[in-house]
Amino acid sequence: MSLPLADWPALVAHYNRINRYGAANGMTLHVPAPGQAEYRMVVHDAHLSSPGTAHGGVLAGLLDAALGAAALTLAFTAGELVSTIEFKINYLRPVHLHDELRAVARVEHTGKSIIVASGTIYRQADGAEALAVAQGLGTFNRYPVAKKELGLLNEE
């Protein structure tokens, strides 16, 4: 059965089923609208680089995923996919074991061949106020879905 490209919620649901990286890291995706995305995850022992502190690559992976999801959901509406061209992150505060992370991203610019998205990761710990722990910017190449078979147009 084919999924219509205009049905971006169904495409997002399908993407969640095939996204092994998100599943392996306990990430959950919420998309309020095309061009916006929110990923959540909890920092576990496997995410640590030193006792009690998360590796920066965990934050980079989470933010790149959120930025890419924001770009991808917008690209879906035009029958396109995206791939990361460039990604920049600023680490603002440390992240610790059991912190709950929320990465929020949105598309800032869309052109004929690229999409630019920005985002912030917030940490929530022990009932305290959420604090920004990282910010980033990503540039994504947009291309027709027909160039890559991801099973996005056919239910498996």
- Confirm whether 150 is domain-assigned: no
Range of the domain at 31: 8-145
- Our count of domains for the chain comes to 1
The per-residue pLDDT for 85 is 97
- Confirm whether 3 is domain-assigned: no
Name the residue among 88, 72, 80 with its Cα closest to residue 112: 80
- Confirm whether 55 is domain-assigned: yes
CA distance linking residue 119 with residue 21, whole number of Å: 19
- Reported in sequence order, the residue ranges of the chain that DSSP labels E, i.e. its strands, are 28-30, 36-42, 48-50, 53-54, 80-91, 100-110, 114-124, 131-144
Name the residue among 74, 60, 152, 76 with its Cα closest to residue 115: 74
- Confirm whether 137 is domain-assigned: yes
- Let me know: does 11 contact 152? Beta carbons within 8 Å: yes
The per-residue pLDDT for 2 is 45
The per-residue pLDDT for 135 is 98
pLDDT in tens, the chain (156 residues): 344 556 778 888 888 888 899 889 999 999 999 999 999 999 999 999 999 899 999 999 999 999 999 999 999 888 899 999 999 999 999 999 999 999 999 999 999 999 999 999 999 867 778 999 999 999 999 999 876 655 554 433
- Confirm whether 156 is domain-assigned: no
Domain CATH code at residue 89: 3.10.129.10
The per-residue pLDDT for 148 is 64
- Three-class SS state of 75: helix
